[in-house]
Structure 1
Amino acid sequence: MTPTPTGRVIGTDLVLTRQFAGPIEDVWASVTDPERTARWIGRWEGGTGAGSTGRLQLGFEESAPWSDFTITACEPPRHVAVATADDAGQWRLEITLEQQDTGTLLTFVHHLDDTDGVGDIGPGWEYYLDQLVASREGRPLPDFGDYHPAMSEHFAAQVRY
């Protein structure tokens, strides 16, 4: 099955959402507990509150590189924001959770410095968030080859110059 891109470029923010069956506390654990993040993005070590620092090992990237992070905001179980730094540069990321009648809505925002490269960045986040979905549902993880470059135009076409 070919995945369908859902992300939007709003100004210089890349915004993606996913809906989960389950309470907000369980989805929060999926995005903050090191054992559970290892299932879809990678394991991490370090502090847990705003101002804390740590390292995330990107478990699904070639050579499984480490990325340093600082937690810039943490309001369990609704919001976490981090600033990361690695060989790819510095990124500002946020996850907001909202309890709904049907489960929990996750909104992911990557605050871009500019929209250069969004055609490569967007498919990567679609892939990782679909890995989160698959890991929570006990399904096989997706293949990155189904996301990039197939989704690149979806994101690049949203950029306004």
Structure 2
Amino acid sequence: MNPTPTGYYRDGRIVIERALAFGTGEVWDALTASERTARWIGPWSGDPSTGTIDLTMTAEEGSPTMPLRIDECDSPVRVAVSAGEGDDVWTLFGEVRSAGEGEVGSVIALSQVIDDPEKASAIGPGWEFYLDRLVAAETGGDPEAIDFDNYYPSMADYYRALPG
């Protein structure tokens, strides 16, 4: 069964959120600590104080490594990174906040600047996939059991329509 898309479009970005029953510090570590990111997207290496790290995306074919420039880091609230060069730069944001009043835990939001509907049709399902892997990794599930084919192409039309 294919998951239902949850993303929305705000301020030129596709935003996808998940709630976790953990404090913001725990969720921040799941988003930023290499030993934790290794479980859902891949480990990173390098020294963040230099402004660049290398992320190995283990859920992608061939486990490619990509350099990420750290554009902003406001621990434990927000991180912004960029990948790529020239006209093909991806700007990504990870944000963590406490859950709403009367709720327990935290919310993690991944967002990406996207104005091209065709790019959105693939990128949106990708971030849904990765956030579900993060939730599985942090709640005792099996991230490897989450299949990208359940996200794409079934979510493509939904995300293609968001930037429009």
* TM norm structure 1: 0.90
Are 1:15 and 2:15 an aligned pair?
yes
Residue in 2 that maps onto 1:97: 96
The count of residues paired between Structure 1 and Structure 2 equals: 157
Spell out structure 1 runs of 4+ moving beyond 3 A.
113-116
Q: Which runs of 5+ in 1 are unaligned?
A: none
- Written as runs of structure 1 = structure 2, the 5 A alignment for 1:1-161 is 1-10=1-10, 12-49=12-49, 52-85=51-84, 89-100=88-99, 101-112=103-114, 114-141=116-143, 142-160=146-164
Q: In structure 1, how many angstroms separate the alpha carbons of the residues matched to 2:6 and 2:54?
A: 28
Computed over aligned residues only, the root mean square deviation of the Cα atoms, in angstroms, reads 1.6
Rounded to whole Å, the distance in 2 between the matches of 1:53 and 1:113 is 25
CA distance in 2, matches of 1:12, 1:77: 24
Q: Distance in 1 between matches of 2:119 and 2:92?
A: 16
Q: Deviations over 1:56-80 (max 9, x none)?
A: 0111000011111111111111111
C-alpha separation in 2, matches of 1:81 and 1:92: 7
Q: Could you tell me how far apart the structure 2 residues matched to 1:11 and 1:28 are?
A: 23
Partners of 1:98 and 1:151 in 2: CA distance:
26
**CA distance in 2: counterparts of 1:54 and 1:151, whole angstroms:** 30
Q: Which moved more, 1:7-16 or 1:101-110?
A: 7-16
Structure richer in helix, relative to its length: 2
Q: Assess, with a 3 A threshold, how the Cα gap between structure 1 residues 148 and 157 changes in structure 2: closer, same or farther.
A: same
Give SS of 1:105's match. Answer: strand
Distance 1:43 1:152 in 2: 27
1:90 is aligned with what amino acid? V
Q: Among the aligned pairs, what percent are the same residue?
A: 36
